[in-house]
Structures are given as structure tokens and as C-alpha cells.
Amino acid sequence: MSTQAKQQQQSLSGFTPYVETKGEEYMGKPMRQHFTKILQKWKQDLMQEVDRTVDHMKDEAANFPDPADRASQEEEFALELRARDRERKLIKKIDKTLQLIEDEEYGWCESCGVEIGIRRLEARPTADLCVDCKTLAEIKEKQVGK
């Protein structure tokens, strides 16, 4: 990957992809530090979004005399609150993942025990299944859902 492509990827995603050294141990200290940094930044961004939502709802809260205006505002707030609820759950998952890193149990599939892989974890830092097990879980979910 060219230097320009690496810089573009860093600016788009907020981190530099991890570059393994030859013979490096999977999920050794440098890798764990890399993922800790990614997860902490992600959590910080989510927390800032929560703060922005609270400020927005305080600033925008108005008692509109028109029922249609009031309903529109309530619907907007309901959508924001649902989004924040999903983010709250994600923050819990990030905290759980950070604990796994601290316990040196991060990076292995919960189902089969194989390495999840650095690129998959960079794409989805809270992943707890390898691609194969996740694919099987999704297939089973579709079959049960029918």
C-alpha cells in the first residue's frame, strides 16, 4: 500500500492499520495496545455524541402550541433516543471488549477458538466470532427466522 493510500485510510477511519513484524506473536502487547487505542477512541466518540444529543434536546425542547409541530419534535427526539440507546449498548460491548484485552483473551473466536484476524478486528473491533462462525450463525438465524 502506498504512503498516500495509508494516509487516506488513516484519515477516513481515524487509525493507522496495524503492521505486523515478522514472527510477531498474535495478540501480543503491541497488538493489544493498538486495539485498546481504537476501542477507547470509538468509545470517546460515542460519549461525545451522547453529550451532543443531550445538549440538542435541551436547546430544542419547546412547547409548540401546534400539535403537528409538537408531534414532529417528539418523533425526532424518539429517533435520537433510540440511536443513543443502540450506542449505549455498543459502549457496554466496547467495555466488555476492553476487559477481554486486559485479560489477554481478545482476538480469538468464542465458538471455535481460532484467531479472528487483525483485519477483521480492525473492521469490527468488538467481533467475538471468526468469519466462518459468524457466517454459520447468520445462516442459522435466517433459517430460524423464517
Residue 51 known to bind ligand: no
Residue 133 known to bind ligand: yes
Residue 93 known to bind ligand: no
Residue 8 known to bind ligand: no
Give the three cell numbers for residue 39: 476501542
- For the stretch 31-59, what's the b/e string if a residue is b when 16 or more beta carbons lie within 10 angstroms of its beta carbon? bbebbbebbeebbeebeeeeeebeeeeee
Q: What's the one-letter identity of residue 3?
A: T
Report the length, in residues, of the chain.
146
| Residues in binding site | 109, 112, 130, 133
| Residues in binding site for Zn(2+) | 109, 112, 130, 133
